[in-house]
Structure 1
Amino acid sequence: MRYFDSVQQKSDPYRIEAVDRALTLLTLLAERGTLSVTEAGRELDVAASTAHRLLGTLSNRGFAVQGERRLYHPGPQLLGLGRSGPSRPLPERVRPFLERLYSEVGETVHLMVREGAEVRFADGIEGTQPLRVGLRTGAHMPAYCTSGGKAMLADLPATEVDTLHADGLTPWPGEAVADLAGLHRELGLVRRQRFGLNHDESEAGVTAIGASLGVVDGVHAALTVALPTARFATVETAELTGRLQQACQDARRALGVAGSGAA
C-alpha cells in the first residue's frame, strides 16, 4: 500500500499536502535506510521530478543525503531526532557528507581537524582508482602545508595565526611556505579562491584541495580531496572544487555552523 494513499491521510481536513509528502519521505528513509527518486515517486504517487525536488529540499535541510548510485540516505538531522545527551562524535556526524563527496569525485577524501598549528586526519575514504592516495587517518601534520589546514588557518584572524606560529613554522620536507609573511600571502589567496591547495607540500606526489567546515561543537574541521599529482593536471579543477565546496556548505547547514571564510 502506498503511504500517500491511505484514506485517513486524505480525509484529514488539516492535512497540508507538501508537508504530508515530506513527512512520508522521512518515514520511508528512517524505515528503509535508502530511497531512490523512483521509489519516492511511486510511494507518493507523484512524478519523479516532484519526488526529486522534495528529496532535494530534505537534503538541503540535512534530513537526507545523496550517496552512491544516487540513492538517498538519512541525513544528520534525521539521525539526530530523538537522541538525547551529548552530540555524536564529529566523524560520525560528518560521515554522510564525506561519503557523498567520495561518491561524486571518486578520489580519496578526508575529514581533517585542527589541533593548534597542526591538523589530524580524523576520518577518510580511500579512492578505488589503480593510482590513488592512501588513507592518512590518525596522522598529524603541520596545518600550513596541508590543503585543509590552510583552509582552516584562513578562517582565523592574522593575529591568531601569528600566535599559533610564535616559534616559527614547523619544518616540513615539502614546504612551499618559508615564513609567516609567506603564510599570510598564501592564506589571502585561500580566502579569495575559497579553498586551500597542497601541491606536493605534505607529501611528494600528492596534490589535495581542502575547504573549511568552520567550528563544529568547538572543533575546527575541514574536508579534503587528495589525488596523485600526476593525475591532477588531467582533472577539471573547477568541478572538483565545486563538489568540495558544495559538500562543505551542505554540511555546515545541517550541522548548524555559520559560513567560514575559506569555504
Structure 2
Amino acid sequence: MQQKSDPYRIEAVDRALTLLTLLADRGTLSVTEAGRELDVAASTAHRLLSTLAHRGFAVQGDRRLYHPGPELLGLGRTAAAPPLPERVRPYLEHLYAEVGETVHLMVRDGAEVRFADGIEGTQPLRVGLRTGANMPAYCTSGGKAMLADLDDDAVDALHPGGLTPWPGEQIDSLPALHRELAAVRAHRFGLNHDESEPGVTAIGASLGVIDGEHAALTVALPTARFATVDATALADRLLRACRHARRALTGAGDDSPN
C-alpha cells in the first residue's frame, strides 16, 4: 500500500499516514493487519499505533482492536454530531432508576478519566456528583474497566514515568496495576474501594469505544452502605446497562434500555 517512489518521503511519517488512512477506511485495525499492510514487524506496528493513540488519533477498544480517535474523527467532521453524554443519557437514566445510587459516565483521556455526566442519588447518605472532574484512571472503577480493554504494553505506554501519585491509591506500581486489571477482565467490571476518595466505593464497566471516545458507566455509593447491598445484583444491572448502550450506540443489536 505504501508509495515508495517519492525521494522526499519520510518513512515513519508515511507509515503513520498509511495507518490513519486504514483506520478511516476500515473503522478498525489490528496490530497484525497494520504490520501486514506496512510490511513491518508486529512490534513496529504496535509502536506506531500506540503513538497515534497517545496523540488521540486512535483508541484501542474491545479485542485489542484500534479505532479512529477523536482527533482523526474531528478532521473529517462536517456537522456537529450529538455529544456522547447526550447519546448515553437514556441508558444512564435507566441505570440510575434501577440502582437508586449516584451514576456517572466516564471518558478516558490517556491515563486519566473525566467524569462527563452523572445523576446524583437521592438517599440522605449519598455520593455527590463529580461531573467535570479528572482523576487518574487506575484509581477509579470505570478507569480500571477501560484500562482492562488495553493490553499490558498499551497500559505501560500510558504511564511512562509510573503511576501518578493519588492520595487514596492502593495500587502503587505497574505490576500491581497489571494484576488488578487481570481481575477486572475476569469479573468484567472494576472496583474502587476508597481509592478515588475516602468513604466512596464504586463499580464501573466499560462501554468500549463510541464515537471515538473510550467510555464507561459507574455506580458509586458510600462505603458504609456498600457492605449492605447485593453487590452481584448491582454489578449485573451495571453490565446490562452497558451492554444495551453499547449495542445501541455502535449501531448493532437491541437499542432498548429495558
Gaps of 5+ in 2: 1-77, 254-258
How far 1:157 moved relative to its partner? 1.2
| SS of the residue 1:227 aligns to | strand
Between the aligned partners of 2:248 and 2:79, the Cα distance in structure 1 is 19
How far 1:86 moved relative to its partner? 3.8
Over the matched positions of the two proteins, sequence identity in percent amounts to 76
The match for 2:220 among 222, 226, 232 is 226
| SS of the residue 1:207 aligns to | strand
* Alignment deviations for residues 226-253 of structure 1 (CA, whole Å, 9 cap, x no partner): 0000000000001000000000000000
Between the aligned partners of 1:146 and 1:172, the Cα distance in structure 2 is 11
How far 1:257 moved relative to its partner? 6.8
How far 1:100 moved relative to its partner? 0.1
Between the aligned partners of 2:170 and 2:200, the Cα distance in structure 1 is 14
Aligned length: 176
Indicate the residue corresponding to 1:189 in structure 2.
Answer: 183
Between the aligned partners of 2:102 and 2:112, the Cα distance in structure 1 is 21
| SS of the residue 1:120 aligns to | strand
Letter of the 2:139 counterpart = C
* 1:215 pairs with 2:209: yes
* Alignment deviations for residues 77-134 of structure 1 (CA, whole Å, 9 cap, x no partner): xxxxxxx944210000000000000000000000000000000000000000000000
How far 1:219 moved relative to its partner? 0.4
Between the aligned partners of 2:252 and 2:181, the Cα distance in structure 1 is 20
Between the aligned partners of 2:164 and 2:135, the Cα distance in structure 1 is 9
Does structure 2 conserve the Cα–Cα contact (< 8 Å) formed by 1:214 and 1:258?
Answer: no
Q: Which has the larger radius of gyration?
A: 1
| SS of the residue 1:128 aligns to | coil
Does structure 2 conserve the Cα–Cα contact (< 8 Å) formed by 1:121 and 1:138?
Answer: yes
Indicate the residue corresponding to 1:99 in structure 2.
Answer: 93
Divergent runs of 4+, >6 A: none
* Alignment deviations for residues 141-194 of structure 1 (CA, whole Å, 9 cap, x no partner): 000000000000000111110000111100001101010000000000000000
Indicate the residue corresponding to 2:192 in structure 1.
Answer: 198
* 1:252 pairs with 2:246: yes
How far 1:256 moved relative to its partner? 1.2
Indicate the residue corresponding to 2:151 in structure 1.
Answer: 157
* TM-score, normalisation: structure 1: 0.65
* 1:111 pairs with 2:99: no
Letter of the 2:173 counterpart = D
RMSD, aligned CA: 1.5
How far 1:258 moved relative to its partner? 8.2
Indicate the residue corresponding to 1:238 in structure 2.
Answer: 232
The match for 1:132 among 108, 114, 126 is 126
Does structure 2 conserve the Cα–Cα contact (< 8 Å) formed by 1:216 and 1:257?
Answer: no
Letter of the 1:169 counterpart = L
| SS of the residue 1:254 aligns to | helix
* TM-score, normalisation: structure 2: 0.67
